[in-house]
Amino acid sequence: MKKRIVVLGGGTGGTLVANRLRRALDASVDIVVVDRDDRHVYQPGLLFVPFGAAAAADLVRSRSRQLRAGIEFRRAGIERVELDEDRVVLDDGDPLGYDALIVASGASLRPDETEGLSEALAGRGAHSFYTLEGSAALSAALAGFDGGRLVVNVVDMPIKCPVAPIEFSFLADWYFRQRGIRKQVTIVFATPLDGAFTKQVCNRELSGLLEGKGIEVVTEFNTGEVDGPGRRLVSYDGREIPFDLAVVVPLHGGASYVDRSEGLGSEFGFVPADEATLQSRARPNVFVVGDAADIPVSKAGSVAHFEGDIVARNVCSFLAGQPLAARFDGHTNCFIESGHGKALLIDYNYEIEPVPGRYPSRVGLPLLRESRLNHMGKLAFQQLYWHGLLPGLDIPGIGTDMPHAGKHLEVLSGAG
Amino acid sequence: MPTKSYDGVDVSVDEQGFFTDPSQWREPMASEIAAEEGVGELTDRHWQVIKFMRHEYEEKGSGPSVRALGKTSGVSIKELYQLFPKGPAKLAAKIAGIPKPRGCI
């Protein structure tokens, strides 16, 4: 009897899990990847588009062409998952049954949940770089910006790539310096958190960089309204931040079909799962990878990459009736562009926050410190993404588990 | 570990005054904590949020964020800020005797 694995979403996590599973399993198992379009966006590139450092069109490739032979790509929208029936209802009406389901449908932007934001984005009273179209429009707006207040705002967590708005602020500082108008621009970073970043040692480093670049930080700012015509952000507790150019990261939720699938997701449409095995809380035959998951880890491509290895192994175990042996340690790895052709690198997991040192071992890229090497690493990563990560290959030096060698873990004892 | 005395009972709290052991909390303690935090007299609406915080903590092991409260507590975010002006998630958690909500990552 043939078995079928259905993967919902052909983004980073869905693609690499499907490719890993196709290599691991024989033809007795069908693998179907469902997505509503055939446009796979290299999302880390979106950060560079507003500054003219990447072209939007160069970030897009075919989803189906990233999948190995023997994987079916089904282009359809998802109506809902029927957990009790073990099937997915697609918008062309055909139910698709599964033996194992992998939710890999990422996070979606929900600007409509913030008063005034959808209108402001549509009327270009505010911008966002979290979509291809948005980042391209922001590129034009920045080019025409000759001075005033640039306000970068995160409405609330969780968001994809939590360091991206900080990187955007760093790159804006550099961009205006290069144009010789930095003195005419005030850059404000407004965050709902009580610091630039949630992890303490990293927060100190990033706060120092923000201060050094003359970027104002407004903390615990919970945006209640984006007033596009009035050019101001208003917080729920009544504070106002005026702007000439606003770059807002909207609220995130899961894919909309999760809300229509009884018992699958949280109130935000993310799918709760065991943080080690990545098996969903909803059903034993449903697994989650990447941004779609409701687990205490950053929504980042590196996380989807490391989780992909775990999910592929555990789905194989599940189908074979064996215990789920692969366990995710929360490994996260992010380059943080800081401008001037430099970047920082952070590497951490559930237990260990980002610390200085080197990655992946004592000889390697410097951690939590600005360096040209890291910037080159970030740029080189784009090729690795298409040719190593998505095909589901094991990349030498980038293991699933967080490496301890090379890290100055002793700084944590003083971090409190 | 610091301790505080509410309703005549010593309880364990963290450096910021959040309960570290929610089982030590009793309803009469809420008004004393609220007074310390400048929240004023607790109304039925406050209590709806406080009871919801306790319930969520028992279910999920962590207090909800403001956004989650707005979606699921039956009290809008705007009203939450009127009830707990300096930050509903943190203040309501403190008054409800549960640990500080985990910041999102």
Residue A327 lies in a domain: no
Residue A144 lies in a domain: yes
Q: Which of A158, A236, A267 sits opposite B71 (nearest CB)?
A: A267
Query: Phi then psi for A7, rounded to 5 degrees?
Result: -110, 120
CATH number assigned to the domain comprising residue A235: 3.50.50.60
pLDDT band at A95 (very low <50, low <70, confident <90, very high): very high
Instruction: State the Cα–Cα distance between residues A191 and A235, nearest whole angstrom.
Output: 11
Residue B75, sorted as left (phi over 0), alpha (psi -120 to 50) or beta, turns out to be beta
Residue B105 lies in a domain: no
Domain identity same for A175 and A210: yes
Domain identity same for A34 and A163: no
Strand partners, A100: A5
Domain identity same for A178 and A311: no
Instruction: State the Cα–Cα distance between residues A164 and A142, nearest whole angstrom.
Output: 17
Residue B46 lies in a domain: yes
> Pick from A252, A268, A300: which residue ends a domain?
A252
Domain identity same for A399 and A296: no
Going by C-beta distance under 8 Å and a sequence separation of 6 or more, which residues neighbour residue A83?
A261, A262, A263, A264, A282, A283, A286
Instruction: Indicate the range of A187-201, A220-234, A237-251, A333-347 predicted with least confidence.
Output: A187-201
Cβ–Cβ < 8 Å for A10, A73: yes
User: What does the pLDDT read at residue B70?
Assistant: 92
Cβ-defined contact of A158 to B86 (cutoff 8 Å) = no
Domain identity same for A26 and A100: yes
User: What does the pLDDT read at residue B103?
Assistant: 61
> Pick from A252, A282, A310: which residue ends a domain?
A252
User: What does the pLDDT read at residue A102?
Assistant: 98
Instruction: Indicate the range of A89-98, A381-390, A406-415 predicted with least confidence.
Output: A406-415
Residue B101 lies in a domain: no
Q: Which of A194, A224, A237 sits opposite B85 (nearest CB)?
A: A237
- H helix count then E strand count, chain B: 5, 2
Structurally, chain B folds into a number of domains equal to 1
Residues 53-92 of B with CB under 8 A from A: 65-68, 71-72, 77-78, 80-81, 85-87
pLDDT band at A416 (very low <50, low <70, confident <90, very high): very low
Domain identity same for A134 and A223: yes
Cβ-defined contact of B105 to A193 (cutoff 8 Å) = no
* Burial class (CB within 10 angstroms; exposed 0-12, middle 13-18, buried 19+) of A220: middle
pLDDT digits (tens, 9 = 90+) for A25-45: 999 999 999 999 999 999 999
pLDDT band at A251 (very low <50, low <70, confident <90, very high): very high
Domain identity same for A117 and A210: yes
Residue B104 lies in a domain: no
Domain identity same for A247 and A147: yes
Residue type, position A276, single letter: A
Residue B62 lies in a domain: yes
Taking residues A45-66, report their average pLDDT: 96
Q: Which of B78, B86, B104 sits opposite A158 (nearest CB)?
A: B104
State CA A412 to chain mean position distance.
26
Closest listed residue to residue B29, CA positions, set B56, B1, B48, B10 = B10
Which two three-digit tokens encode residue A165?
């708005």
Q: Tokens 């208003």 appear where?
A: A234
Structurally, chain A folds into a number of domains equal to 3
B76 is annotated as an active-site residue: no
> What ipTM describes this predicted complex?
0.82
Mean residue pLDDT of chain A comes to 96
Taking residues A228-252, report their average pLDDT: 97
pLDDT of A15 strictly over 80: yes
> Pick from A214, A234, A252: which residue ends a domain?
A252
Instruction: State the Cα–Cα distance between residues A368 and A375, nearest whole angstrom.
Output: 13
Residue A410 lies in a domain: yes
Contacts of A251 in chain B (CB under 8 A): 67
Q: Tokens 């949280």 appear where?
A: A266
Residue numbers of chain B with a pLDDT score lower than 50 = 105
Instruction: State the Cα–Cα distance between residues B33 and A99, nearest whole angstrom.
Output: 52
Domain identity same for A97 and A124: no
Taking residues A254-279, report their average pLDDT: 97
Cα dist from A184 to A171, A177, A305, whole Å: 16, 10, 41
- Percentage of chain A exceeding pLDDT 90: 93
Report DSSP state, residue A342: E
Characterize the bridge pairing of strands A148-154 and A185-190. parallel
The range of the structural domain enclosing residue A229 comes to: 111-252
Q: Provide the 3-class DSSP secondary structure of residue A172.
A: helix
Cβ–Cβ < 8 Å for A102, A311: yes
Instruction: State the Cα–Cα distance between residues B83 and A301, nearest whole angstrom.
Output: 39
Cβ-defined contact of B87 to A268 (cutoff 8 Å) = no
Residue A375 lies in a domain: yes
pLDDT of A63 strictly over 70: yes
The single residue of B10, B41, B104, B105 carrying the catalytic annotation is B104
Residue B39 lies in a domain: yes
User: What does the pLDDT read at residue A414?
Assistant: 58
Q: Which of A193, A267, A297 sits opposite B103 (nearest CB)?
A: A193
Domain identity same for A127 and A248: yes
Which candidate in B73, B83, B104 is best for mutational testing of the A interface (most A CBs within 10 A)?
B104
Contacts of A268 in chain B (CB under 8 A): 67-68, 71
pLDDT of A308 strictly over 80: yes
The range of the structural domain enclosing residue B28 comes to: 3-95
Residue type, position B65, single letter: S
pLDDT of A372 strictly over 60: yes
Residue A326 lies in a domain: no
pLDDT band at A76 (very low <50, low <70, confident <90, very high): very high
